[in-house]
Amino acid sequence: MEVNIHHAKTNLSRLIVQAEAGDEVIIARAGKPVVKLVPVTAPKPRKFKAGALKGRLFVPDNFLDPDPELEALFNDDPIFPGEIPAKMATAARKTRARR
């Protein structure tokens, strides 16, 4: 089916339905074909095979062990700027208690 641009603008929804049904819809300007309206086919979903990565991934034995450097970042520095770190505050309390 060949239609002019004015007809295509007016009846675009109908032309889309026809293209989805398998009809070839060509839009022409001044009688010359310019555009072909065709349906888009969805890509096939990729199928994943269970166990495809078996033997390719390695998790070290110490994976769940605590990381001292990471713990220090969370526990040793003050939460707010200007605040005394927890270790220093404990040491200051002990010093005051000795006096």
35/1 Cα distance (integer angstroms): 12
Backbone dihedral angles phi then psi of residue 11, each to the nearest 5 degrees: -120, 35
Residue 84 lies in a domain: yes
Q: Radius of gyration (Cα) for the chain, nearest Å?
A: 36
57 belongs to a structural domain = no
Range of the domain at 91: 68-98
Confidence check: pLDDT of 88 > 70: no
Residue 26 lies in a domain: yes
Residue 92 lies in a domain: yes
First and final C-alpha spacing in the chain: 100
Q: What is the mean pLDDT of the chain?
A: 84
Residue 85 near residue 78, CB atoms below 8 Å: yes
pLDDT at residue 33 in the model: 92
Does residue 50 fall inside a structural domain?
Answer: no
- Structure confidence by residue, pLDDT tens digits, 34-70: 999 888 888 888 888 888 888 898 889 999 999 888 8
For residue 12, being part of any structural domain is answered with yes
pTM: 0.43
| Domain total in the chain | 2
